[in-house]
């Protein structure tokens, strides 16, 4: 299913204030260490903060009243988790990020914004094998620069059976979707939508239909170097 839709999401004054504060914090911190390739405040606000909300709003995540357990994998500057948490406080949100400075940034930003979250400073490939986190989440989020086969191996193991895995990607990813089909099914997932949400972004949704084989994900770095595929 491919839908292109221009969204107008009503935000409260407090939500708007927090999104602006968050965007400014990324902008200022980005001068000290690399959080994003975007260099001006408006691009950070529009492409990172608002694009995340628009992309997730199209599948009704921004307005969901359910208390879901959510994990943001490879969170970087806290995208898309922090914008989603700002507009929906019902979610119990966990960040997994291997870069210590980025974890410190997420912690500082959430403190400034009065957001209660959990932050894990480690590789997702390692944490996915821990009983406390493996197949424990209703929703797994990522804003991916990695290819979908790699993202599948890193993200799907965190979702409980019946849960969802949502990856925000760029445009023109039809070929990636086709090549990732093998890895997604191997890991216990199934494609249930692909939506072009804005002029910048599309989202890919997988449903967790069965348990992930215990050997996945492979050791840190391997999913990136050698994505799962039919040999």
Provide the token pair at 225: 């170097």
Per-residue pLDDT tens digits for 62-119: 656 678 899 999 999 999 999 999 988 889 999 999 999 999 999 999 999 999 999 9
pLDDT at 63: 59
Q: Is the pLDDT of residue 1 over 50?
A: no
> Domain coordinates of the chain in residue numbers?
13-225
Is the distance from CB of 95 to CB of 115 less than 8 angstroms? Answer: no
Strand partners, 93: 70
Mean of pLDDT values over 167-185: 92
C-alpha distances (whole Å) from 197 to each of 1, 28, 79, 142 are 12, 28, 16, 15
pLDDT at 9: 67
Which is nearest to 91 in space by CA: 68, 57, 107? Answer: 68
Q: Which CATH architecture has domain 13-225?
A: 3-Layer(aba) Sandwich (3.40)
Is the distance from CB of 86 to CB of 15 less than 8 angstroms? Answer: yes
pLDDT at 47: 83
pTM of the model: 0.92
Which is nearest to 47 in space by CA: 19, 13, 5? Answer: 19
pLDDT at 172: 86
Q: Is the pLDDT of residue 6 over 50?
A: no
Beta strands of the chain (E only): which ranges? 69-73, 92-96, 118-120, 137-143, 159-169, 189-196, 202-208
């Amino acid at each position: 299913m491919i839908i292109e839709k221009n969204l107008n999401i009503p935000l409260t004054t407090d939500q708007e204030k927090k999104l602006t504060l968050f965007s400014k914090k990324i902008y200022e911190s980005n001068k000290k260490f690399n959080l994003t390739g975007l260099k001006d405040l408006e691009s950070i606000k529009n492409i990172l903060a608002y694009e995340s909300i628009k992309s997730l709003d199209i599948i009704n995540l921004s307005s969901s009243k359910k208390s879901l357990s959510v994990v943001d994998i490879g969170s970087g500057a806290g995208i898309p988790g922090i914008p989603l948490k700002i507009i929906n406080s019902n979610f119990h949100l966990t960040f997994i990020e291997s870069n210590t400075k980025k974890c410190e940034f997420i912690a500082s930003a959430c403190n400034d914004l009065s957001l209660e979250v959990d932050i894990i400073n480690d590789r997702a490939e390692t944490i996915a094998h821990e009983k406390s986190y493996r197949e424990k989440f209703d929703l797994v989020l990522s804003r991916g620069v990695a290819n979908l086969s790699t993202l599948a191996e890193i993200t799907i193991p965190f979702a409980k059976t019946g849960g969802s895995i949502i990856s925000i990607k760029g445009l023109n990813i039809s070929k990636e979707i086709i090549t990732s089909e093998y890895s997604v099914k191997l890991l216990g997932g199934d494609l249930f939508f692909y939506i072009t949400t804005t002029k910048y972004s599309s989202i890919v949704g997988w449903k967790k239909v069965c348990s992930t084989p215990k050997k996945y994900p492979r050791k840190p770095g391997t999913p990136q170097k050698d994505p799962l595929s039919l040999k």
